């Protein structure tokens, strides 16, 4: 299990000053090691950004924890009534005869990535197991848990599957007044491996991209299948692509900077990628957004961190991807470079072989553009059309209404 452990143990329950000064570091422990650290008096909590415990810094947890307070039976009797035994149970520092207190810790088969999901899983499993005397702090994934020096422990081989928890859809964590609480949501539709999410949060973006480059496809556009006998290729209706800025700096595409809608662009390009591949997995999407951010965005000033990328990906996965025209190609067709290469022709020469220009105006014409704008687009693709030619074509095709730009 991966978790944060206090940098020092406490033989008695920490005081207010000790709690204020408590610091954590990242550890990876097996069950026996975890139980031993608890008995030595170390405190633990979920994985947090920069090892700093706060709701806003939460990254993930592999544990469900229940704090049992003021029970009328000792821990061993309580455990006898549980169908699914905790992975580790231990008596808390305040445990006394007649006022029994202990903690139940369940190791999970995959990490929980969202504070609301933790709340929902925790409350639902509590109901499923008919747990009693559960302290409400158990529902707070950002809470820290004290170890218990020289305590009694019980260990099982339980690895709890999240899929086996009967989720109560009515459970939603109450919203905190904290301005930093930005990750309330529901990630139950997301399936991630522990290794992947740990690598995402811990590795540098460039190293993360390198590690997974052979596992995930980098989606930039819908694959097109066409041969070298067609001078012009028309985009099919189900074609989508991620568009990049036209401007270049020193021969490279200009990167999107702070203040230029970076979050919105990431979101829109995420939607486009889902259109390109409707069965796109969350892991593949998160990899694609990380790749895009690394190579096409400047990250200074209002910094976009990994949690922001993760939350954008979650939002994208929940959206109805066909509610907008995001990702549609700007033009209706393009010059086939394969045809040009086969015949040794430039783009303009390929267009020059077209005898009847009017025949191809419809492949480029866009009703949302003015005549001058349409002519500019056609000229870019080598279709040299005069304004009168375009107007005659419009008249022949019943497009005589005045141009009106779409909202």
Model confidence over 197-219: pLDDT tens digits? Answer: 888 988 999 999 999 999 998 89
Q: What is residue 380's predicted lDDT score, i.e. its pLDDT?
A: 77
For residue 388, being part of any structural domain is answered with no
Q: What is residue 271's predicted lDDT score, i.e. its pLDDT?
A: 93
- CA 148, chain centre distance (Å): 37
pLDDT tens for each residue of 228-254: 777 778 888 889 999 877 666 677 778
Of 291, 308, 332, at which residue does a domain stop? 332
Residues 53 and 149 in one domain: yes
For residue 243, being part of any structural domain is answered with no
Radius of gyration from C-alpha coordinates of the chain: 30
Of 314, 332, 350, at which residue does a domain stop? 332
Helices (H) and strands (E) in the chain, counts: 14, 12
For residue 362, being part of any structural domain is answered with no
Q: What is residue 186's predicted lDDT score, i.e. its pLDDT?
A: 53
For residue 302, being part of any structural domain is answered with yes
Residues 90 and 126 in one domain: yes
Compute the mean pLDDT over every residue in the chain, rounded to the nearest whole number.
Answer: 86
**249, β-bridge pairs:** 252
Task: Compute the distance between CA of residue 240 and CA of residue 260 in angstroms, rounded to an integer.
Answer: 23
**265 band by pLDDT with thresholds 50, 70 and 90:** very high
Phi-psi region of 261 (alpha: psi -120 to 50; beta: other; left: phi over 0): left
Residues 281 and 323 in one domain: yes
Tokens of 194: 């522990």
Task: Compute the distance between CA of residue 293 and CA of residue 368 in angstroms, rounded to an integer.
Answer: 31
Inform me whether the pLDDT recorded for 184 exceeds 50.
no
Residue 136 burial by Cβ neighbours in a 10 Å radius (0-12, 13-18, 19+) = exposed
Residues 98 and 159 in one domain: yes
Q: Which comes out higher in pLDDT, residue 308 or 349? A: 308
Task: Compute the distance between CA of residue 57 and CA of residue 174 in angstroms, rounded to an integer.
Answer: 18
Q: What is residue 182's predicted lDDT score, i.e. its pLDDT?
A: 37
pTM over 0.85: no
Q: What is residue 165's predicted lDDT score, i.e. its pLDDT?
A: 94
From 86-100, 108-122, 315-329, the region with the lowest mean pLDDT = 315-329
Residues 6 and 148 in one domain: yes
Inform me whether the pLDDT recorded for 135 exceeds 70.
yes
288 φ/ψ angles, rounded to the nearest 5 degrees: -60, -45
Element (H, E) at 45: strand 44-45
Residues 150 and 195 in one domain: no
Residues 203 and 319 in one domain: yes
Inform me whether the pLDDT recorded for 138 exceeds 90.
yes
From 97-101, 106-110, 245-249, the region with the lowest mean pLDDT = 245-249
Cα dihedral 366/371/376/378 (nearest 10): 50
User: CB within 8 A of 388, min separation 6: which ones?
Assistant: none
Tokens of 132: 């009693």
For residue 379, being part of any structural domain is answered with no
Q: Taking the CA atoms of 246, 251, 253 and 255 in sequence, report the sign of the dihedral they define.
A: negative
Q: What is residue 179's predicted lDDT score, i.e. its pLDDT?
A: 33
Residues 214 and 100 in one domain: no
From 55-59, 271-275, 403-407, the region with the lowest mean pLDDT = 403-407
Q: Which of 384, 379, 375 is nearest to 403 (CA)?
A: 375
For residue 18, being part of any structural domain is answered with yes
In DSSP notation, 261-281 reads -HHHHHHHHHHHHHHHSTT--
SS3 149: coil
Q: Do 238 and 285 meet the contact criterion of CB atoms below 8 Å apart? A: no
Of 282, 308, 332, at which residue does a domain stop? 332
Residues 303 and 196 in one domain: yes
pLDDT tens for each residue of 25-34: 999 999 999 9
In DSSP notation, 343-389 reads HT--HHHHHHT-S-HHHHHHHH--TTS-HHHHHHHHHHTT----HHH
Q: What is residue 24's predicted lDDT score, i.e. its pLDDT?
A: 95
For residue 394, being part of any structural domain is answered with no
Residues 120 and 213 in one domain: no
Task: Compute the distance between CA of residue 185 and CA of residue 115 in angstroms, rounded to an integer.
Answer: 7
Q: Burial code of 251-265, b = ≥16 C-beta within 10 A, e = fewer?
A: eeeebbeeeeebeeb
For residue 407, being part of any structural domain is answered with no
Residues 218 and 154 in one domain: no
Task: Compute the distance between CA of residue 332 and CA of residue 346 in angstroms, rounded to an integer.
Answer: 20
pLDDT tens for each residue of 352-405: 665 455 667 877 888 888 889 888 888 777 677 888 888 888 887 777 665 555
Q: What is residue 177's predicted lDDT score, i.e. its pLDDT?
A: 39
* Overall domain count for the chain: 2
292 φ/ψ angles, rounded to the nearest 5 degrees: -60, -45
Total count of residues recorded for the chain: 407
Tokens of 68: 């049992």
User: How much is the average pLDDT of 297-323?
Assistant: 86
Give the CA distances from residue 237 to residues 56, 104, 240, 374, 378, in Å, rounded to whole numbers and listed in that order.
42, 55, 9, 20, 20
**241, β-bridge pairs:** 221
Residues 211 and 263 in one domain: yes
User: How much is the average pLDDT of 316-326?
Assistant: 81
Q: What is residue 402's predicted lDDT score, i.e. its pLDDT?
A: 57
Q: List the domain range (segments joined by +) for residue 53.
A: 2-164
């Amino acid at each position: 299990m991966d978790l944060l452990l206090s940098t020092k143990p406490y033989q008695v329950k920490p005081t207010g000053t000790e709690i204020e000064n408590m610091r954590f570091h990242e550890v990876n422990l097996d069950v026996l090691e975890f139980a031993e650290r608890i008995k030595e008096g170390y405190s633990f909590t979920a994985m947090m950004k920069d090892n700093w415990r706060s709701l806003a810094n939460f990254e993930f947890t592999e544990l469900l924890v229940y704090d049992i307070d003021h029970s009328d039976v000792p821990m061993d009797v309580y455990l006898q009534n549980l169908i699914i035994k905790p992975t580790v149970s231990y008596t808390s520092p305040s445990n006394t005869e007649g006022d029994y207190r202990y903690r139940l810790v369940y190791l999970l088969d995959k990490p929980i990535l969202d504070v609301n999901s933790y709340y929902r899983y925790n409350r639902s499993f509590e109901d499923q197991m008919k747990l009693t005397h559960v302290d409400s702090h158990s529902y707070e994934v950002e809470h820290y848990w004290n170890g218990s020096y020289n305590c009694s422990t019980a260990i099982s081989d339980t690895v709890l599957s999240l899929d086996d928890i009967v989720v109560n859809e009515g459970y939603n964590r109450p919203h905190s007044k904290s301005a930093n609480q930005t990750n309330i949501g529901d990630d139950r539709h997301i399936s991630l491996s522990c290794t992947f999410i740990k690598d995402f949060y811990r590795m540098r973006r460039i190293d993360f991209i390198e590690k997974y480059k052979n596992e995930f496809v980098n989606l930039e556009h819908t694959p097109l299948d066409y041969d070298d006998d067609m001078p012009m290729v028309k985009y099919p209706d189900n074609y989508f692509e991620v568009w990049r800025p036209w401007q270049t700096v020193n021969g490279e595409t200009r990167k999107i900077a702070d203040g230029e809608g970076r979050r919105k662009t990431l979101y829109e390009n995420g939607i486009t990628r889902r259109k390109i591949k409707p069965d796109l997995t969350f892991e593949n999407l998160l990899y694609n957004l990380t790749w895009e951010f690394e190579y096409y965005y400047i990250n200074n000033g209002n910094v976009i961190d990994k949690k922001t990328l993760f939350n954008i990906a979650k939002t994208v996965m929940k959206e109805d991807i066909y509610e907008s025209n995001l990702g549609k190609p700007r033009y209706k067709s393009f010059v086939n470079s394969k045809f040009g290469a086969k015949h040794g022709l430039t783009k303009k020469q390929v267009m020059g072989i077209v005898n009847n220009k009017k025949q191809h105006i419809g492949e480029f014409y866009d009703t949302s553009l003015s005549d001058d704008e349409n002519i500019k687009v056609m000229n870019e693709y080598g279709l040299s059309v005069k304004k009168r030619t375009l107007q005659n074509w419009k008249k022949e095709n019943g497009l005589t209404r005045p141009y009106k730009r779409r909202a």
